A and B are shown apart, each in its own frame.
Chain A
Amino acid sequence: DIQMTQSPSSLSASVGDRVTITCQASQDISNYLNWYQQKPGKAPKLLIYDASNLETGVPSRFSGSGSGTDFTFTISSLQPEDIATYYCQQYDNLPMYTFGQGTKLEIK
């Protein structure tokens, strides 16, 4: 099984800060990595697919990079509405999927 290790598990930052979350796969997954945002009481929302592609309608302050085993999710300038939990998800061995443990982002 492919394991996804996401860090940090929680993060506190100020409005306007650059925020970075990492996700590491237990084996090479090429670019088969997606990022979701989940706000309290809501279903997750796809932000980034295939490691670096921005989903339609998602603000450009969100970005993703990486390939192989190491991936990064970045918010270039944190906004109050970005407070949420963020998850990575791999799909190297379709049709099976694995999510990271999540990163809870809070405003400082």
Chain B
Amino acid sequence: QLQLQESGPGLVKPSETLSLTCTVSGGSISSSSYYWGWIRQPPGKGLEWIGSIYYSGSTYYNPSLKSRVTISVDTSKNQFSLKLSSVTAADTAVYYCARPVAGWFDPWGQGTLVTVSS
């Protein structure tokens, strides 16, 4: 059974770069022609797709975040990562990694709260 798990710092200072990693278990990140994605949810608010990466490395980003987002994949570690630069308090959110499958997301990681604060 495929499982995803986010990891990374829970506190980031304003203007710095948020970095998170998603570890995939129960399957190989490169064994199938899948995308892998990041979604975030500010406290008490809705869901926002951040971006996706194909196992080969092609990336697609939400236009509203594109200038600050980098998603990468490390097939040797079965992981993919998110970097969001120049963060502000508005970037405080629960960050989820998930696998887009034919248009929907399944499975999801449990999510990790990242707070932007000095």
Contact = CB atoms under 8 A, between A and B. Distances in A.
Given A43-B96, A43-B110, A95 B52 contact: yes
Given A98-B49, A99-B47, A101-B46, A46 B96 contact: no
Interface in B47-80: 47-49, 52, 60, 62-63
Contacts of A50: 103
Interface residues of B, number: 22
Contacts of B109: 43
A95 B60 contact: yes
A93 to B, nearest CB: 10
A44 interface: yes
Which of the four size classes fits the interface of chain A? 20 to 34
A102 interface: yes
Contacts of B98: 43
A91 B62 contact: no
Interface of B: 35, 37, 46-49, 52, 60, 62-63, 96, 98, 100, 102-106, 108-111
